Amino acid sequence: MSDPRLESLRAAAPGLRLATAPDELLHYGRDWTRRWTPAPLAVALPATVDEVQAVLRWASAEGVAVVPSGGRTGLSGGAVAANGELVLSLERMRRVLAFDPVDRTLTVEAGAPLETVQEAARQHGLQYPVDFASRGSCTIGGNIATNAGGIRVLRYGNTREWVAGLKLVTASGELLDLNRGLVKNSSGYDLRHLAIASEGTLGVVVEATLKLAPPPPPVATLLLALPSFEVLMQVFQALRGRLALEAFEFFTGTCLRHVVAHGAQAPFEREYPYYVVLDAAAEGPDDERLLEAFGHCAEQGWVEDGVVAQSQAQAAQLWRLREGITEALAPHLPYKNDVAVRVSAMPAFLAEAQALLAAEYPEFEVAWFGHIGDGNLHINVLKPTELGQEAFVARCAEVTAHLAGLVERHGGTISAEHGIGLVKKPYLGCTRSAAEIGIMRALRAALDPAGILNPGKLFDPPER
């Protein structure tokens, strides 16, 4: 028998598509964290802004919790529905609505996949430069809700930099048209920026007007094998001064071993401690500036081995070594950490974190990779086969608490780009002061007095 609340939702939003089959609840109730058992009430699949408004008006009136849902590629549990919530999936709202050649903006519905946006920009001779491996599955709404970063932040910044306008439906069903694509707007609080990274707790993004950039320059792709992280930072400094870097990513020998075991081709005959894959503006693999910069690093004795891609296909192959890490690690049920410190603090932080893990948690294999240009390290703790999942998660919570303390001492953040969601909620206080969290709570209460929007994410709801 259908839940009476769904009958009342059907009456409040006639024509709304609702999914309730067990496989649908499973599919829409979880994200890539795979740690919680999905248990949503149902899945609402609106096709219009009006329908989103009707759902939220109804949810506020009935006190039903709502989990906004994009591509569910998140790694912090922000889109998990494990407590009888209504999942509000934006996947049917995926159209590219408008391109403005004068403003250089693209207006899209929130459910548009990142790759669709990138492709639409390319068709107009421009680029949408935010980019990362889940581009085919993640959506713009989810990118905005987490202020997604990725592999080109060093050059272009996070999602936040590219949002010129936002349409947001509040918990009470009101539609806010924020900033309307304006370049300059000093008319008080910028609610658009409050919504960005709010993880669906302040409203549901239904539409975005995105800035576009000129197309990227032709680039050369390099893979370098390096002996230590200190050298890696020296290489970064040297190359940043000599080349226009479009991306500069690192990973360890451990990561490479997993990617190769997962089917990628090993780039060199032996394994090295660290690797960098980078894109630099260049006319081709023989570009003089490139050769000079590479030569300089080699002369310093920094580079153990290296390859410059000779074709697009080879460049894609080199990038697969970096972009394939998440997928290659997935079977090992990694416990993910997504920390950031100032770029200058990275070597000290990394050395301390590595020493801590080796001394206190020697039973774990740890895969390090991430985004050097913006100080973001992904520390993936892999589950030993003999350890049960629950015991592993409990032990990893200790690891994360330890790391969070280290992050706090280095003035960093426990989430650079994945968001807080459920996974990092216990450690929010290591990154944000009590006063800040108090203001965040007050904002949430002001915008969502009934507490229906993604409750339990970011921080716990107040005791009632």
Binding mask 69-108 for ligand MLT (x = CB under 6 A): ------x---------------------------------
143 binds ligand MLT (CB under 6 A): no
H, E, C per residue of the chain: CCCHHHHHHHHHCCCCEEECCHHHHHHHCCCCCCCCCCCCCEEEECCCHHHHHHHHHHHHHHCCCEEEECCCCCCCCCCCCCCCCEEEECCCCCCEEEEECCCCEEEEECCCEHHHHHHHHHHCCCECCCECCCCCCCEHHHHHHHCCCECCHHHHCCHHHHEEEEEEECCCCCEEEECCCCCCCCCCCCHHHHHCCCCCCCCEEEEEEEECECCCCCEEEEEEEECCHHHHHHHHHHHHHHCCEEEEEEEEHHHHHHHHHCCCCCCCCCCCCEEEEEEEECCCCCCHHHHHHHHHHHHCCCCCEEEECCCHHHHHHHHHHHHCHHHHHHHHCCEEEEEECCHHHHHHHHHHHHHHHHHHCCCCEEEEEEEHHHCEEEEEEECCCCCCHHHHHHHHHHHHHHHHHHHHHCCCECECCCCCCCCCHHHHHHCCCHHHHHHHHHHHHHHCCCCCECCCCCCCCCCC
Binding to ligand MLT by CB under 6 A, coded x per residue (else -) over 41-70, reads: ------------------------------
Min dist CB 133 to ligand MLT, Å, is 5
- Does the footprint of ligand MLT cover residue 221 (CB under 6 A)? no
Contact 209, 96 (CB under 8 A): no
| CB 109, CB 206: distance < 8 Å | yes
Number of residues that bind ligand MLT (CB under 6 A): 6
Residue whose CB is nearest to ligand MLT in the complex, by number: 326
Residue 109 or 131 with smaller CB distance to ligand MLT: 131
Least distance in Å: CB of 153 to ligand MLT?
A: 10
In terms of CB distance, is 282 or 325 closer to ligand MLT?
A: 325
Residue 194 CB, shortest distance to ligand MLT, in Å, is 24
When the beta carbons of 75 and 458 are compared against ligand MLT, the nearer one is: 75
Cβ 50 to ligand MLT shortest distance, Å: 35
User: Closest distance between ligand MLT and the C-beta of residue 378, in Å?
Assistant: 4
- Cross-strand partners of 166: 178, 208
Smallest gap from Cβ 57 to ligand MLT, in A, equals 35
For ligand MLT, the binding residue among 192, 258, 378, 410 (CB under 6 A) is 378
Give min distance, CB of 7 to ligand MLT, in A. Answer: 41
The reply on whether position 33 binds ligand MLT by CB under 6 A is no
Distance CA 197, CA 148 (A): 8
Q: For ligand MLT, which is the closer residue by CB, 192 or 336? A: 336
Cβ closest to ligand MLT, residue 290 vs residue 340:
340
Q: What does the per-residue mask of binding to ligand MLT show for 328-357, with x meaning CB under 6 A?
A: --------x---------------------
Q: How far is the CB of 132 from ligand MLT (least distance, A)?
A: 6
Least distance (Å) from ligand MLT to the CB of residue 326? Answer: 4
What's the rounded Cα separation, in Å, for the pair 438 and 386?
Answer: 42
- Is the Cα torsion angle 142, 144, 147, 152 positive or negative in sign? positive
Q: Per CB under 6 A, which of residues 299..328 are in contact with ligand MLT? A: 326
For the bound state, the minimum distance from the C-beta of residue 386 to ligand MLT, rounded and expressed in Å, comes to: 24
Q: Is residue 133 part of the contact set for ligand MLT (CB under 6 A)? A: yes
Identify the CA nearest to 294 among candidates 206, 221, 376.
Answer: 221
Nearer to ligand MLT, 128 or 294 (CB): 128
- Nearest distance, CB of residue 79 and ligand MLT, angstroms: 15
Is the Cβ of residue 250 or residue 294 nearer to ligand MLT in the bound state? 250
Residues in contact with ligand MLT by the rule CB under 6 A:
75, 132-133, 326, 336, 378
